[in-house]
Amino acid sequence: MKRILWLMLLAAAVWGLPRLSHPATDIGRLQPVEAVLLTLDDAGIRIETDGGYRGVGATLEEAVKDLYDAAPAAIYLDTANKLLISGEETPDWTEILSVFRPSCRVCIVNGDVNLKEAADYLAVHEPEITLNRLRAGEKERQILTIREGRGSLEAE
């Protein structure tokens, strides 16, 4: 009787273990991100990736959720190396740090910008300021301006 009980428990464990594991993500569906544009205004937050995916929400968390829901691929924001911030509102750095890694480079965007052009420019002229430095209280920020396909990155 003991053997049958042990065999039944073993069979239940073998059957149940795969169902407890985290569902796998097909690596071919992962969409790495290099640059992200956050636009903050009275209506909320818009997030756009260099892959052309967009999300909108009242908070950054809602915008990121909308981005994940709208994208046909699995967006991978952990690879974002450049964060561009646009708009009149002051960003919540704590909320931003909950989504992006501390070593992510940050610049403020002056006016409307094409994210692809900005990402190409920033690949050569990398911003010096990181999220970690902003969190530590650094006041200096860099402003990115792109006019007629030419960019400039200047201290605020």
Cα 121 from Cα 93, distance rounded (Å): 24
- Whose structure tokens read 């699995």? 74
What is 49-100 written as a DSSP string? ETTS-EEEESSHHHHHHHHHHH-SSEEEGGG--EEEEEESSPP-HHHHHTTS
Q: Contact, 100 vs 93, CB < 8 A? A: no
Contacts of 152 by beta carbon, 8 Å cutoff, 6+ apart: 144, 145, 146
Q: How confident is the model at residue 28 (pLDDT cuts 50, 70, 90)?
A: low
**What per-residue confidence (pLDDT) applies to 45?**
92
pLDDT band at residue 49 using 50, 70 and 90 as cut-offs = very high
Mean pLDDT, range 124-146, rounded to an integer: 86
| pTM, full prediction | 0.77
Asked whether the predicted pLDDT for residue 114 surpasses 60, the reply is yes
